[in-house]
Chains A and B, each alone.
Chain A
């Protein structure tokens, strides 16, 4: 125990000897959390729309004013020519343009149908899909109004009087930040923990101090625990600050038990830090360690369900996520914080994490060689 204490103290002294480390470890991630929570928003707002109105009728005016009234669209220009509109999309000023052809209104009355054309910049497929959906909703709405006005038939009531109601549980305001903040917090804690631990032992190798440690009677597990503990403490403090920010700044509901979050985080961090140390034991330079950590992390993060739902992935990819600790923690954070899931609900997550923690750290201890 005493030996471990001495290593932990030494690590803390070294980490914070560099004046920049304190703000880098504690302040930057929090700033990142605040910025990223605002940035990581899949809700599509302010779509730039250009309108080509070749009809210039009362109806086309009515349609345009509906677009003007929409929160999602931002009309940046009007013209008569679709070429001009296309240039606007080409230059990136407009995201899409709506073409109302000549005689649109006349055709609608005469032929009982008419057409509009929507051209969307679809490089970002998701955004394009949503923009298209919003625009279509407005057009349908407009269609309904026209119908009521002109044909005097009530629009949209289904026969039989069947209607559909819906409710959104746990997040009735559909706040995307509520969903993202717990996930981003996992990301930040993981990044800091994995990189610091991943570069740690290898730094002693690179500088040569590890030799001096290896000729001492220190036990391997004492060394690994002593190396792990400082980062474990730092990461938990980091998590606490992040949770406080989530609560104060983002109004994240803490529906479930905080103890459960901390309990799970404690085990999760053992996995992540253990992985970092494991990387550290089989690399020779810090650069190498950093790259391997980075490689692991980027796959972990992309496959964690943080940004895109795991359910959308193909089967084989979903199978991979079962080996991804980040995916487990992201899910647990969201389940416990937002839905109030209890220990029984996340028992499988806990079992997997405990097993992983044990396996990774035993491997790290075994792979650390005092004798070559």
Chain B
């Protein structure tokens, strides 16, 4: 046991000596949460639009003012001819063009049908849809105001309740995601590389020749990373709670247990990778391609799983992060207890056992 303690001490030295890595490991979650909280959003405002006003009348000007007053739009340019629209789109800044026809004023006076044309740069379909919706609504409201809106009969009013996140803050969505990615990074990617490093430098042989049992060596190597991962978890949760007012409704104890479970699963994955690789570069590429990208993209962190094609929804089931994110959201935002998440927890536990079993098997084969 004393030897084991010394061994862990050596691992801790490795990590703490390397100030730069430590700084990044502790700083990265902070930067990520702040970026997601303050900089990254899907809401659109100040979109640049171009206006082609062929009518040059009072109405087109009033509509333009309304659009500007909404805060969603900025006028990038006043155009003179249709051909300029495409040119502006190609240069990339302008997202939408509004065309007022020459006969706008005239037709309106005579009560003839008239069209205002909205042309969107739909390379980004979501932005295009949103901008057209905003603009249509604003123009529609203007027109209704003009007609002194006689109240519509048979009004159905829909009362909307946004559960768990009434102000639709995206940070609520991202905090569990960032936590998952960081834990995965520290636990799986770091350990796989740390162990492979000993192999590449030849120091693994020395350790294996020591009286420490191989299992102890591996456990000793991963313990510091468990500590780091848990420190990161605490930092992220504190940021979420104090900076963004994110609630933690469920039990903290349960949350801690679940985090530990996920960390163990990730560590097991990292160890499994390291049993199969000889060089740090290979370990890194495997971690990157098989762990990090799926964790970011297939776990429901950024993109909703329900919208994916069926095949991907099936694949997403083998990604530990998916289950962990479900657990996190349940415990943190909904305040549910074990009764709602025992299934997910069991799946994670099963995965951890499987990875550990596979690593042990690989390790034995290598020793024989």
Is A in direct contact with B (CB under 8 Å) within the complex?
A: yes
CB distance from A312 to the nearest CB of B (A): 5
**Is B289's CB under 8 angstroms from A29's CB?**
yes
Q: Known interface pairs A24-B285, A164-B139, A165-B118. Does A288 touch B164 (Cβ–Cβ under 8 Å)?
A: no
A81: CB under 8 A from chain B?
A: no
Query: Which B residues lie within 8 Å of A48 (CB)?
Result: 306
CB distance from A182 to the nearest CB of B (A): 9
With A and B bound together, what is the CA distance between A139 and B156 in angstroms? 8
Within 274-309 of A, Cβ neighbours of B (below 8 Å) are at 283-288, 290-292, 294-295, 298-299, 302-303, 307-309
Within 295-339 of B, Cβ neighbours of A (below 8 Å) are at 297-298, 302-304, 306-309, 311-312, 315, 326, 329-330, 333-334, 336
B64: CB under 8 A from chain A?
A: no
**Is A161's CB under 8 angstroms from B114's CB?**
yes
Among the 9-residue stretches B3-11, B37-45, B257-265, B356-364, the one with 4 or more Cβ atoms under 8 Å from chain A is: B37-45
With A and B bound together, what is the CA distance between A123 and B166 in angstroms? 9
Kindly report which residue of chain B lies nearest to residue A118, judged by CB atoms: B160
With A and B bound together, what is the CA distance between A46 and B313 in angstroms? 12
**Is A126's CB under 8 angstroms from B42's CB?**
yes
Among the 9-residue stretches A218-226, A339-347, A362-370, the one with 4 or more Cβ atoms under 8 Å from chain B is: A339-347
B256: CB under 8 A from chain A?
A: no
Give which listed residue, B113, B159, B172, contacts A161 with CB less than 8 A: B113
A213: CB under 8 A from chain B?
A: no
**Is B156's CB under 8 angstroms from A162's CB?**
no
Query: Which A residues lie within 8 Å of B48 (CB)?
Result: 311
**Is B282's CB under 8 angstroms from A168's CB?**
no
Q: Known interface pairs A39-B308, A295-B24. Does A335 touch B92 (Cβ–Cβ under 8 Å)?
A: yes
Query: Which B residues lie within 8 Å of A162 (CB)?
Result: 108, 113-116, 143
With A and B bound together, what is the CA distance between A175 and B161 in angstroms? 31
A237: CB under 8 A from chain B?
A: no
With A and B bound together, what is the CA distance between A165 and B308 in angstroms? 31
Query: Which A residues lie within 8 Å of B308 (CB)?
Result: 38-39, 41
**Is A125's CB under 8 angstroms from B144's CB?**
no
B157: CB under 8 A from chain A?
A: yes
B70: CB under 8 A from chain A?
A: no
Give which listed residue, A38, A114, A283, A303, contacts B156 with CB less than 8 A: A114
**Is B122's CB under 8 angstroms from A169's CB?**
yes
Query: Which B residues lie within 8 Å of A286 (CB)?
Result: 193, 197, 280-281, 284
Give which listed residue, B31, B36, B163, contacts A119 with CB less than 8 A: B163
Within 9-34 of A, Cβ neighbours of B (below 8 Å) are at 18, 20-21, 24-25, 28-29, 32
Query: Which B residues lie within 8 Å of A125 (CB)?
Result: 165, 168-170, 172-173
**Is B113's CB under 8 angstroms from A163's CB?**
yes
Q: Known interface pairs A167-B119, A170-B122, A287-B190. Does A18 touch B28 (Cβ–Cβ under 8 Å)?
A: no
Among the 9-residue stretches B125-133, B212-220, B234-242, the one with 4 or more Cβ atoms under 8 Å from chain A is: B125-133
Give which listed residue, B122, B155, B162, B190, contacts A174 with CB less than 8 A: B122
Count, chain A residues at interface, CB 8 A: 120
**Is A288's CB under 8 angstroms from B18's CB?**
yes
**Is B163's CB under 8 angstroms from A120's CB?**
yes
A40: CB under 8 A from chain B?
A: yes
With A and B bound together, what is the CA distance between A218 and B39 in angstroms? 46
With A and B bound together, what is the CA distance between A18 and B117 in angstroms? 59
Q: Known interface pairs A125-B173, A285-B18, A302-B35. Does A117 touch B113 (Cβ–Cβ under 8 Å)?
A: no
With A and B bound together, what is the CA distance between A92 and B201 in angstroms? 48
Within 215-260 of B, Cβ neighbours of A (below 8 Å) are at none
Kindly report which residue of chain A lies nearest to residue B326, judged by CB atoms: A92
Q: How large is the interface on B (under 10, 10 to 19, 20 to 34, 35 or more residues)?
A: 35 or more
A83: CB under 8 A from chain B?
A: no
Give which listed residue, A90, A161, A196, A335, contacts B281 with CB less than 8 A: A196
**Is A339's CB under 8 angstroms from B121's CB?**
yes
With A and B bound together, what is the CA distance between A95 and B165 in angstroms? 13
A166: CB under 8 A from chain B?
A: yes
With A and B bound together, what is the CA distance between A316 and B34 in angstroms? 13
**Is A170's CB under 8 angstroms from B108's CB?**
no
**Is B158's CB under 8 angstroms from A308's CB?**
no
CB distance from A35 to the nearest CB of B (A): 7
**Is A345's CB under 8 angstroms from B193's CB?**
no
A78: CB under 8 A from chain B?
A: no
**Is A129's CB under 8 angstroms from B284's CB?**
no
With A and B bound together, what is the CA distance between A288 and B23 in angstroms? 11
B210: CB under 8 A from chain A?
A: no
A124: CB under 8 A from chain B?
A: yes
CB distance from B163 to the nearest CB of A (A): 5
Kindly report which residue of chain B lies nearest to residue A116, judged by CB atoms: B158
CB distance from A37 to the nearest CB of B (A): 10
Query: Which B residues lie within 8 Å of A113 (CB)?
Result: 154-157
Query: Which B residues lie within 8 Å of A179 (CB)?
Result: 123-125
Give which listed residue, A124, A176, A284, contacts B125 with CB less than 8 A: A176
**Is B156's CB under 8 angstroms from A142's CB?**
yes
Query: Which B residues lie within 8 Å of A354 (CB)?
Result: none
Query: Which A residues lie within 8 Å of B297 (CB)?
Result: 35-36, 39-40
Q: Known interface pairs A41-B307, A169-B120. Does A160 touch B108 (Cβ–Cβ under 8 Å)?
A: yes
Q: Known interface pairs A286-B281, A287-B194. Does A171 touch B122 (Cβ–Cβ under 8 Å)?
A: yes
Among A164, A179, A292, max chain B CB count under 10 A is at A164
Within 161-203 of B, Cβ neighbours of A (below 8 Å) are at 161-166, 168-170, 172-173, 185, 189-190, 193-194, 197, 200-201
Q: Measuring CB to CB, which residues of chain B are less than 8 angstroms from any residue of chain A?
A: 18, 20-21, 24-25, 27-28, 31-32, 35-36, 38-48, 86, 89-92, 95, 107-108, 111-129, 132-133, 135-136, 139-140, 143-144, 146-147, 152-166, 168-170, 172-173, 185, 189-190, 193-194, 197, 200-201, 277-282, 284-286, 288-290, 293-294, 297-298, 302-304, 306-309, 311-312, 315, 326, 329-330, 333-334, 336, 340
* Interface pairs (6), CB distance under 8 Å: A160-B108, A164-B116, A171-B125, A172-B122, A179-B125, A299-B35
Other than A166-B120, A287-B194, give 20 A-B pairs with Cβ distance below 8 A.
A21-B282, A28-B285, A95-B306, A108-B154, A115-B157, A115-B158, A116-B157, A120-B160, A123-B164, A126-B173, A151-B154, A160-B143, A167-B118, A168-B132, A170-B123, A195-B285, A287-B193, A294-B185, A299-B31, A339-B123
Going nearest first, the 7 A-B pairs with the smallest beta carbon separation are: A125-B168, A168-B122, A159-B147, A317-B39, A122-B162, A174-B125, A166-B118
